[in-house]
Structure 1
C-alpha cells in the first residue's frame, strides 16, 4: 500500500468537490480543475476531507491510488494557491519580452522564438531575464516551463541558456590546449 495514498486530502470551505461517475471536479477561488477517475479507485468525502482507497489489492491498482491522491491534492492546492515556476536567462544578449500574451525569447538564434501561452497559464517577465509561469494546474505549469527551458538548455562550458531559478549547472573545463 502506498504511504502517500493512505493520507487524507484536507481542503477548506472555499473548495468544493463534485464526484460524477468517472470524474472529480475541484472548484476553488482561482478556478476549476477536472480529473478522470479509474474504476479501481474509490473516493469518499467526509467533513472537508477526501479519502482515496483502492478497490482491489492488485499491484497496478496499489500503484495508481497513491498517484491519484497526489494529483487530487495538487488540484486542491492549485485552485486555492496556484503554482509558479521561475526561469532565468543567462547569456549576453539573452532577453525575454511579452507580446500580448505571447512570450518572445531572444536566446542567440537568428530569430526570436515565440511561445504562445495556453489557456489557464499566465506568463510574466521581470527585468527581461526572469520568466514567471503561473497557473492552477501543476502539470501544465511544469510542462510549459520545461518546454521553454528546452529551447536553450544551459550548456556546461559557459553556463549560457535558460535555467530554473536556483538550478545549479555544473561547469566543465574547456580544452586544455597545447603546452
Structure 2
C-alpha cells in the first residue's frame, strides 16, 4: 500500500468537493478544478459530522479517502499515491494557490508583460515571447537586470500546480543558467553548479 495514498486528505473550510461521474470537482475561494479519477482507484468523500471532533477543531469540512482495491499490483500502488497527490494539490490550489518565483541573470537581460504575453530580452538577436496560459498570473518585481549580480525577478501564480510548473519549465528552457557565470533564467530557489573557467598559463618571454 502506498504510504502517501493511505493518508486522508482534509477538506478545509470554504472548499466544496463533489463527485461528478469519474471526476472530482473541487471549488474554493480562488476557483474551480477537476481531477479525473482512475477507474481502479476508489475515492470517498466523507463530510465532517458532529462525531468527527479532530476535524471540527481544525475547521475542516470533511476529508477524502483514496483507496486501492489491489495493493498487490505495482501499477495500482503507484496510481494510489498519484491520485491522492493530485486531489491534495487541487485542494491547496483552490484555497491558497501556488507560486513560482523566477530570476534572470545576465547583463542587459529583461522581461516585461504585454498583451497577455511575457517578452524576454535574453541575449539573442531577437525578442522571445511566451503566451501566458489562462489561469496563470504574472507579477514582475524587477523588470531588468543590473549588471550580472542583480537579477530581474518575476513571480508566477496559479491554482493548477501542473499547469504552473509546466509554464515555469517552458520559460526556464528559453535560456537555462550556464555554469560559468550563471547567466540565464532560473528558479529563485535553484542552486546552479558553477564551473571554473579555463586557466591559461603565461609562458616566459
> TM > 0.5 between the two?
yes
**Worse-superposed segment, 136-145 or 50-59:** 50-59
The aligned residue for residue 124 of structure 2 is: 109
When normalised by structure 2's length, the TM-score is 0.84
Partner of 1:27: 27
Other-structure match for 1:14: 14
- The correspondence for 1:166, drawn from 189, 192, 199, is 189
Give the one of 55, 64, 89 matched to 2:79. 64
Structure 2: runs of 5+ lacking an equivalent: 49-61, 144-151
Structure 1 residue 174: Cα displacement? 1.1
Where do 1:151-162 residues align within 5 Å? 151-162=174-185
Q: Specify which of 158, 174, 180 is matched with residue 135 of structure 1.
A: 158
Q: Which residue of 2 aligns with 1:93?
A: 108
Q: Which residue of 1 aligns with 2:56?
A: none
Are the aligned partners of 1:153 and 1:162 in contact in 2 as well (CA < 8 Å)? yes
Structure 1 unaligned residues grouped into runs of 5+: none
Tell me which of 74, 82, 93 is aligned to 2:97: 82
Contact 1:86 1:133 (C-alpha < 8 Å) held by counterparts: yes
Give 4+ residue runs of structure 1 displaced > 3 Å after superposition: none
Counterparts of 1:97 and 1:62, CA distance in 2:
44
TM-score (norm 1): 0.96
Count of residue correspondences: 179
Query: What's the secondary structure of 2:66's corresponding residue?
Result: strand
Q: Does the CA-based 8 Å contact 1:103-1:116 persist in structure 2?
A: yes
Q: Whose radius of gyration is greater, 1 or 2? A: 2
Aligned to 1:51: 65
Q: What is the CA–CA distance in structure 2 between the aligned matches of 1:165 and 1:39, rounded to whole Å?
A: 38
Asked whether the 8 Å contact 1:101–1:123 carries over to 2, the reply is: no
